[in-house]
Amino acid sequence: MSQLHKRFTSDQVKELLERYLKKEIERTYIQEVLGISRRRFFMLLRECKEDPQHFTIQYQRTRTPRSISHDVEQNILNELTVEKQIIQNKDVPLKSYNYSYIRDRLRGRYHQKVSLPTIIDRAKKHGFYLKKPKRSSHDREVLTRYTGELIQHDSSFHLWAPAAKEKWYLITSLDDYSRFILYAALIEKETSWTHIQALQTVILRYGLPFAYYVDSHSIFRFVQGRDSFWRNHYLLTDEATPQWKQVLEDCHVKVTYALSPQAKGKIERPYGWLQDRLIRTCVREDVATIKPAQQILRQEIYRYNYRQVHSTTLEIPYFRFQRALKEKQSLFREFKIRPPFESSKDIFCLRIDRTVDAYRNISISNLQFKVHADPRKQINLRLYPLNAELTEIRFWCESKLIDIQKIKTSDLKGVHF
């Protein structure tokens, strides 16, 4: 039965009680009409006798506000102060407060559990509040039904650690279906080789996906008119194949290009999430070099993949990814080295073609190599950087590996890694 004040007015109850006092109505009848117990009846009767003019059955719930300790209060304000300094720094690409980040930081660093409304309340009271700008809706979205159907791949160039005073690139690969981040790395210089390394990591660990989804950056796609080096050769768009795409062609993986920035929405949102938290933590930890920033990135990737419920899928990315694999809802294929290739170094590498001269030599970056091939034969050099100092060159002629040599990477000055 619903509450008394929702079924009767105070005057109606008061009239019944007054008639009881005048012995016009019996108590049991009033209890039955009001639907109350004997105890409740006499409580109301006592209140009516004591103050008939102000008698009411309406009541207000009194909530005693929960107070937080001085230490918690001070930590909230300290974190908000740091947030304000970050926002006011024109070199940092952050323009709003992140109260969820402060909540997580209080919990992780200080072991203090504070609700998000409490933090927002303190922010508003002390002037640490900005209205969020309206976000434009995404007019294009790539929809997939299987994990491995589409891997979103891109890079972002930002001042991730303001104390470092230099911008770094963040290369990331994300499974479109599960939103699971398969690869993430901070690098100082973006090259074809750094993106090939990302391909190698993803494919060797998870298998061959059906397709990669990228923008029209020159590393991923040749566009006539923009890539002026080829303009005099009268090549049209996509008639020259960049090194990165050649790797995927050897793997028989399709490449799809985004037609607009809006179409890259899924990869941009994780970038925004990572950018936001990575920068805030780097500022607080006073990170000035890329190595500790990479460690912070790994921590945030772990949180995103294994702890964070995605706002669109309403699932944690890792568990959505694993469930798809378990239910065979996947387009990942096993990676195998197929003939004539003999090693993964023959696939995840940089490629250069050279013609054997009359003396059975070929040259690259002012270096000459003697090869066991007839003059005018085409040699395909596959370069695999072993580390920062040493590069392995694998010589292929007519689908046969004819030689392997190692040279200093510094000697390959004319090769753009």
Same domain, yes or no: 181 and 309: yes
* Whether 356 and 387 share a structural domain: yes
What 3-state class would DSSP assign to 52? helix
Q: Assess whether 228 and 292 both reside in one domain.
A: yes
Helix or strand (DSSP H, E) at 267 = helix 265-284
Tokens of 21: 């006092």
Model pLDDT, residue 352: 92
* 183 and 291 belong to one structural domain: yes
Local confidence band at 270 (pLDDT 50, 70, 90 cut-offs): low
Q: Looking at the structure, tell me whether residues 376 and 245 fall in a common domain.
A: no
The pLDDT of residue 342 is 93
Query: Is pLDDT at 397 greater than 90 in this prediction?
Result: yes
DSSP E strand stretches across 176-238: 181-187, 211-214
Label residue 215 by pLDDT band (50, 70, 90): confident
For residue 230, give the CATH number of its domain: 3.30.420.10
Closest CA to 173 of 205, 141, 133, 127: 205
Task: Indicate the residue among 294, 326, 358 that finishes a domain.
Answer: 326
Asked, for residue 319, whether it belongs to a domain, the answer is yes
The model carries a pTM of 0.74
Whether 189 and 284 share a structural domain: yes
Verify that 118 and 215 share a domain, yes or no. no
How far apart are alpha carbons 172 and 364 in whole angstroms?
32
Domain count, the chain: 4
The string of pLDDT tens digits covering residues 176-197 is: 999 999 999 999 999 999 999 9
Q: Is the alpha carbon torsion for 333, 339, 345, 348 positive or negative?
A: negative
Q: Is residue 142 part of a domain?
A: no
User: pLDDT: is 148 or 14 the higher one?
Assistant: 148
> Which residues 6+ apart lie within 8 Å of 165 measured at CB?
159
Parent domain of 43: 4-54
Considering only residues 68 and 194, tell me which one the structure prediction assigns the higher pLDDT. 194
For residue 26, being part of any structural domain is answered with yes
Least confident piece of the model among 29-38, 372-381, 384-393: 29-38
Query: Considering 110, 125, 140, which residue would you say is the last residue of a domain?
Result: 125
pLDDT on residue 231:
47
Asked if residue 334 belongs to a domain, the reply is no
pLDDT, mean of residues 333-351: 94
Are 101 and 27 part of one and the same domain? no
Instruction: Report whether pLDDT(210) > 90.
Output: yes
Instruction: Tell me the β-bridge partners of 404.
Output: 394
> Do 402 and 316 share a structural domain?
no
**Phi, psi dihedrals of residue 404, rounded to the nearest 5°:** -135, 130
Of 125, 143, 169, the residue that ends a domain is: 125
Least confident of 222-236, 280-294, 297-311, 391-405: 222-236
Going by pLDDT thresholds of 50, 70 and 90, the confidence category of residue 288 is very high
Residues 233 and 185 in one domain: yes
| Mean pLDDT computed over every residue of the chain | 86
Q: Long-range contacts: 96-100, Cβ < 8 Å, 24+?
A: 96/130, 96/132, 96/133, 97/123, 97/128, 97/129, 97/130, 98/276, 98/277, 98/280, 99/123
> Does 385 lie in the same domain as 265?
no
DSSP-derived secondary structure letter, 316: -
138 occurs within a structural domain: no
Structure confidence at residue 53 as a pLDDT band (50, 70, 90): confident
**pLDDT over threshold 90, residue 24:** no
